[in-house]
Amino acid sequence: MGIFNAVFLCLFVLTSGFLSLSSAINVSHDGRAVLINGQRRILISGAIHYPRSTAEMWPDLFRKAKEGGIDTIETYVFWNIHEPRRREYDFSGNRDIIRFLKTIQDAGLYAILRIGPYVCAEWNYGGFPVWLHNMPGIELRTDNEVFKNEMQNFTTLIVNMIKQEKLFASQGGPIILAQIENEYGNVIGSYGAKGRNYLQWCAKMATSLNIDIPWIMCQEKDAPQPMINTCNGYFCDGFSPNNPNSPKIWTENWIGWYKSWGERDPHRRAEDVAFAVARFYQKGGTLQNYYMYHGGTNFGRTTGGPYIATSYDYDGFLDEYGNINQPKWGHLKRLHSIIKSMETVLTYGDVTPIDFGNGVEATIYATNETSACFLSNRNEMSDETIYFQKNNYFLPRWSVSILPDCKQVAYNTAIVNTQTSIIEKMPNKAEEEPEQLNWAWRPEYIKDTLSGKGSFKADHLLEQKLASSDASDYLWYMTSVRISKHDPFYSKHMTLRIKTEGHGLYIYFNGELVGSQYATTGKYSFELDVPVTVKSGKNYITLLSVTVGLANYGAYFDIIPVGITGPVQLIGNGSVVRDLSYNQWTYEVGLNGEDKKIYDNKYAQQLKWYSDEIIIKRPMTWYKTTFKAPLGLEPVVVDLQGLGKGEAWVNGHSIGRYWPTVIAPSDGCEECDYPHFSKTRCATNCGEPTQRWYHVPRSFLHTDNNTLILFEEAGGNPTLVNFQTVTAGTICANVNEGTTLELSCQGGHFISDIQFASFGDPVGTCGFFEKGTCEADHAFLVVQKACVGRKSCSIDVSEATLGLSNCDNNINKRLAVQAVC
């Protein structure tokens, strides 16, 4: 080797050593911000939970998030999907958290990992595996050795898996922050001294894992150092962390809300989200995370609650299926890019707040080189005009104006210049798909349970989690009672009274279904009286208890009982003649069909199905059909209208519980004003089934034949079931003169038609635009020429582009457009 080569090799070794060292990212923080490689940063994060979509969807979701101005993806870690049985682990399919994190990294984004492992999240049992509950001596979320040992075991397992893949920033990976526990401060009071010890233990345990990035604890004002306590809520501008060295971080900016069975679809308007975000950064916040950027779907039996719907759309920036939700996405994208453009001054500048009184406030951020200003008006009802740095500024009510140079208003949170999109459902365009699907059915085998046969016994009523470990929604309770004609109380007609902790109940007496009931949202325990016809001799009582997601929130949520805890009584002539609560009870967990896996066609096709005549309204029935996947790439949904309640599987994948017979209240969907979100204002879907359409991810589908299998417990009619695609069909924009109108289609579609375009004083909203009193003659033609045949277009909203109008000078002109994708 010549000298030259030796020197070169030496240099190479040195530089590559340097390169691999420098690929480690140093994450630290001070009281102002999170620092990445020593630089204070403004970070904008969005929550996407990996099991609420599919691995095939992740790259597209991240791409859209990045394009929307997001630089970090946040997720919880869901313990119960990874450790379904103690020390048996599952990281397959959409449980593959490592693949999820690597996909984030490939997209050029950071990650925040909220390990919990208690997560809340409207997730079954808050993420805890139910076997935990059944461990002797355990108490969850408190200073209890059995629990702490399990929590530490799982947390360590996750951390080690991630370390092995070098996914922490300190190893060159994307993860910049990690969370332990979740909102413990909301419940700590109920756990007393043991709760306080547990909090300290959580912090110590987390720190001992040596991940070399900061740890956070949300909603925990007593978070011990070095944990950063962070804020969750609709607004976090007023939040201050508990230590001067902790930056102001907002872990959950609730940009909508989740949906429960029996409720409407909640919506939070873009103007209100933008106001909350702008106020947060105005008041010194430097990192916020949207909860949820993409909510997604609660597949299988993953919903918590109880009574959380299968859709977890959340009114996120990306809808349940991954479509861009406009105008929210676009309005906030603009805000993100403006906030990011001010990163240095916001994180290093001096801060001068000026109180104008009456809810109006200015904040000036200034370095030697530059300055940036926020002007905010917190009045919900009154617009204000303020005189600030030698200019008058008009501030619409409940809004923040951002002036990146302290002169020009670049953005106002209440002025939406972004297109709206109307998401439309289109019929299945698959070739050769018949008008109506062909159905086969078979009964759920319940003969054994109706005659009292089960797999274990107890001499009392068992709580459902204890008896079933939540292996199924269904638990059979069976007993019998001997009545003799000669008993003094004998009467043929008696009443069976059952008290259950919920959530649903089917009652069979001597093999006949004699009654059923579901709890109403919010009140899950109930008592049910059913008339029964008693035989002289042995009478069989078979009760089927059904859960609809286990509780996930609140102090001691884990010990909230479910199932039939009694009493169960037989009543004759108004008085209790037999209390059956301490009878010998026989139990069977789950359905026969679940046991035989008949939701999967591989097993289903080995069984006998009836197809001559389709039976409807029959409880405890399995249905099966085949269908062709809709053409194209758009997301697919199945319309389950006509069915009662149950679970649906496509090619063996559960698409979740369905329950289209629960209807949302008919009121609360009126046009609404934007300030201050409320669950019942700005809602949609009033008077309609809470959920009629169910997401079928494209990756669940084959190009040829697909199987849909339903378990219908209540009785329904599958003949109306059909597959559809969901996409943004109509798009609209309505923007002021002097700005730019931008339109774009999703899913690779082209603008095919302009249905409306008027530059003047048009009235109405998307779908209902009308010409006003004046307009420019050529606007329609200009828009048509600029947009039709394109995936996106942008037009300067000015008379120069759109032609002279006949509007009076005092009219603020706007261009309104409605187009078809």
Q: Cβ(53)–Cβ(100) under 8 Å? A: no
**496 binding ligand GAL? (CB under 6 A):** no
**Tokens at 133, concatenated:** 């509950």
Q: Which stretch binds ligand GAL (CB under 6 A): 113-121, 468-476, 585-593, 695-703?
A: 113-121
Cβ(148)–Cβ(181) below 8 Å: no
Task: Give kind and range of the element (H or E) at residue 31.
Answer: none
Count of residues interacting with ligand GAL (CB under 6 A): 9
Nearer to ligand GAL, 118 or 658 (CB): 118
Chain positions 203 to 262 lying near ligand GAL, rule: CB under 6 A, are 232, 252, 258
CB of 312 to ligand GAL, least distance (A): 9
183: which 2 tokens?
């909102």
CB 105 within 8 A of CB 167: yes
Nearest residue to ligand GAL on Cβ basis: 120
CB 116 within 8 A of CB 127: yes
Name the one residue in this structure whose structure tokens are 């292996």: 471
From 62-70, 119-127, 395-403, 411-419, give the range in contact with ligand GAL by CB under 6 A: 119-127
Measured distance CA(649)–CA(653) in Å, rounded: 5
Which residues in the 143-182 window bind ligand GAL by CB under 6 A? 182
CB-based burial, 105-144: b 16+ in 10 Å, e otherwise: bebebbbbbbbbbbbbbbbbbbbbbbbbbeeeebbbbbbb
Tell me which residue of 537, 552, 651, 548 sits closest to 599, measured CA to CA: 651
Least Å from the CB of residue 336 to ligand GAL: 22
Angle at 496 between CA 494 and CA 502, to 5 degrees: 165
Q: Which is nearer to ligand GAL, 516 or 552 (CB)?
A: 552
Whole-angstrom distance, CA of residue 211 vs CA of residue 162: 10
Could you give the CA distance from residue 45 to residue 73 in angstroms, rounded to a whole number?
5
Q: Which residues, in sequence order, are bridge partners of residue 518? A: 504
Q: How far apart are CA 790 and CA 402, in angstroms?
A: 32
Does the N-terminal peptide bond of residue 404 adopt cis geometry, omega within 30 degrees of 0?
A: no
Residue written as tokens 């340097």? 18
Quick one: DSSP state of residue 558? G
Stretch that binds ligand GAL, among 117-125, 130-138, 646-654, 707-715 (CB under 6 A): 117-125
What CA–CA distance (Å, rounded) separates 218 from 236?
A: 12
- Is the CB of 182 or the CB of 565 nearer to ligand GAL? 182
Confirm whether 463 is a catalytic residue: no
Task: Give the binding range for ligand GAL (CB under 6 A) out of 40-48, 59-67, 114-122, 596-604.
Answer: 114-122
The residue range among 116-124, 323-331, 506-514, 619-627 that interacts with ligand GAL, by the rule CB under 6 A, is 116-124
We find the least distance from the C-beta atom of residue 454 to ligand GAL, in angstroms, to be 36
Strands (DSSP E) found in 295-448: 350-357, 360-366, 371-377, 384-388, 391-395, 399-403, 411-412, 420-427, 439-443
Per annotation, catalytic residue among 252, 320, 712, 775: 252
Please, which residue, 232 or 621, has the CB nearer to ligand GAL? 232
Instruction: Name the minimum Å distance from CB 120 to ligand GAL.
Output: 3
State which residue, 252 or 313, has the beta carbon closest to ligand GAL.
Answer: 252
Whole-number minimum distance, CB 265 to ligand GAL, in Å?
Answer: 14
Helices (H), 605-764: none
CA 439 to centroid of chain Cα atoms: 32
Q: How far is the CB of 121 from ligand GAL (least distance, A)?
A: 4
Tell the smallest beta-carbon distance from residue 274 to ligand GAL (Å).
Answer: 20
CB-nearer residue toward ligand GAL: 477 or 677: 677
- Across-strand partners of 657? 647
Relative orientation angle of helices 192-207 and 145-164, to the nearest 10 degrees: 20
Closer Cβ to ligand GAL, 291 or 622, answer by number? 291
Member of 25, 43, 121, 130 binding ligand GAL (CB under 6 A): 121
Query: By CB under 6 A, what part of segment 51-110 binds ligand GAL?
Result: none
User: Among residues 126 and 174, whose Cβ is nearest to ligand GAL?
Assistant: 126
Nearer to ligand GAL, 252 or 775 (CB): 252
How many CB atoms sit inside 10 A of residue 308's CB? 24
Q: Say if residue 226 is preceded by a cis peptide, omega within 30 of 0.
A: yes
Is 183 near ligand GAL (CB under 6 A)? yes
Task: For helices 97-106 and 145-164, give the axis angle rounded to 10 degrees.
Answer: 40
Closest CB 256 distance from ligand GAL, rounded Å: 9
Burial class (CB in 10 A: 0-12, 13-18, 19+), 804: exposed
Using a 10 angstrom Cβ sphere, with 0-12 exposed, 13-18 middle and 19 or more buried, the burial of residue 2 is exposed
d(CA 357, CA 348): 27
Which are the contacts of 512, defined by CB distance < 8 A and separation ≥ 6? none
Our CB check for ligand GAL shows the closer of 558 and 639 to be 558
Q: How far is the CB of 122 from ligand GAL (least distance, A)?
A: 5
Min dist CB 156 to ligand GAL, Å, is 22
DSSP designation for 643: -
The one-letter code for the residue type at 200 is Q
Is residue 271 among the annotated active site residues? no
| Count of Cβ atoms closer than 10 Å to residue 782 Cβ | 19
Strands 504-509 and 575-579: unpaired
Compare residues 305 and 619 and give the one whose CB is closer to ligand GAL. 305
Q: How is residue 676 annotated by DSSP?
A: S
Cβ proximity to ligand GAL, 122 vs 319, nearer residue: 122
User: Taking the complex as a whole, how short is the minimal distance between the CB of residue 718 and ligand GAL, in angstroms?
Assistant: 33
**Residue 499 in contact with residue 529, Cβ under 8 Å?**
no
Instruction: Find the part of the chain contacting ligand GAL (CB under 6 A) among 115-123, 155-163, 331-339, 768-776.
Output: 115-123
Q: What DSSP string describes 255-282?
A: SS---BTT--B----HHHHHHHHHHHHH
Question: Contact letters (x/-) for ligand GAL, 770-809, by CB under 6 A?
Answer: ----------------------------------------
Q: Are 518 and 465 within 8 A, CB to CB?
A: no
The one catalytic residue in 150, 181, 183, 220 is 183
CB of 183 to ligand GAL, least distance (A): 5
Least separation in angstroms between CB 233 and ligand GAL: 9
| Relative orientation angle of helices 97-106 and 58-67, to the nearest 10 degrees | 40
- Does residue number 122 form part of the binding site for ligand GAL (CB under 6 A)? yes
Using the minimum distance from each CB to ligand GAL, give the nearer residue, 188 or 475. Answer: 188
Site of interaction with ligand GAL (CB under 6 A): 119-122, 182-183, 232, 252, 258
Active centre residues (catalytic) = 183, 252
